[in-house]
């Protein structure tokens, strides 16, 4: 799954469930990784 679709799914689920914070992590290969925190300001 691509990072953009992971982020989109996370944001939609956060809105649907009324969750304030979400964390997305992804292995990028070659010993690198990425972590992104999302905040739902509508909650």
Distance CA 24, CA 5 (A): 11
The total of other beta-carbon atoms located within 10 Å of residue 14's CB is 18
DSSP the chain: --HHHHHHHHHHHHHHHT-SEEEEEEEEETTEEEEEEEE-TT-
pTM score, whole prediction: 0.79
Q: Which pLDDT tens digit goes with each residue over 1-23? A: 677 899 999 999 999 999 999 99
Q: Is the pLDDT of residue 36 over 80?
A: yes
Distance CA 7, CA 14 (A): 10
Distance CA 13, CA 19 (A): 8
Structural domain spans, the chain: 3-39
């Amino acid at each position: 799954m691509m990072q953009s679709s992971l982020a989109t799914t996370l944001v939609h689920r956060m809105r649907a469930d009324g969750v304030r914070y979400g964390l997305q992590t992804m292995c990028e290969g070659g010993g690198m990784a990425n972590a992104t925190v999302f905040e739902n300001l509508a909650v």
